[in-house]
């Protein structure tokens, strides 16, 4: 019980870090990309920044789920490993549906 709790706390902290990193990176890229777009110089750089920012934004929640799978494997909590993998499979399903 105690070990489980500390595992959950560690997971919560890691998730917080992943989410913070994702939002700060994507928002910075959006802000710089938009500023460059407005000035009209280097449109290619602006497009690259905005596009990459969007990909990072979309990748942040799945990254959080991946971190969760790793923690549940470490704890040997196989029910939650399976549940988390189903969530990842549904997201993979979205990728398939997007390009099919």
Partner 1 sequence: MGFIRFKRFNRFNALNPLNLTAWLALIIFGAGAMAGALGIVLGLGGGIFLVPFLTLALGLPLKSAAAISLSTVIATSSVVSAQRAGNQLINLRFGMVLEVATTVGSLLGGITAQFVAESTLQRLFGVVAAAVAAVMLGRINRRNVILDPTVDPGRLGGRFHEEESGGIVSYRIKRLPLALFASFIAGNVSSLLGIGGGIIKVPVLNAWCGMPLRAAAATSALMIGVTATGGAIIYYGRGDLQPLLAAPAVLGVQAGSWVGARVASGASVKWLKVLMAALLVVVAVLMFMRSTQ
**Subset of residues 11 to 30 that bind partner 1, contact rule: CB under 8 A:** 11-13, 15-17, 19-20, 22-23, 26-27, 30
Give the shortest CB-81-to-partner 1 separation in angstroms.
10
What track of x and - describes contact with partner 1 for positions 71 through 90 (by CB under 8 A)?
---------x--xx-xx--x
Give the shortest CB-53-to-partner 1 separation in angstroms.
6
How many of the chain's residues bind partner 1 (CB under 8 A)? 47
Determine how many CB atoms are found less than 10 A away from the CB of residue 30. 17
Give whole-number Cα distances, 43 to 28, 37, 48, in Å. Answer: 17, 6, 9
Give the shortest CB-2-to-partner 1 separation in angstroms.
13
């Amino acid at each position: 019980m105690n070990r489980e709790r500390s595992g959950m706390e560690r997971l919560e902290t890691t998730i917080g870090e992943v989410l913070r990193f994702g939002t700060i990176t994507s928002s910075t890229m959006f802000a710089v990309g938009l500023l460059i777009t407005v000035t009209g110089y280097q449109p290619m750089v602006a497009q690259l920044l905005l596009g990459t920012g969007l990909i990072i934004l979309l990748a942040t929640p799945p990254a959080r789920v991946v971190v969760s799978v790793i923690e549940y494997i470490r704890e040997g909590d196989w029910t939650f490993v399976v549940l988390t993998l189903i969530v990842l499979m549904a997201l993979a399903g979205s990728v398939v549906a997007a390009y099919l």
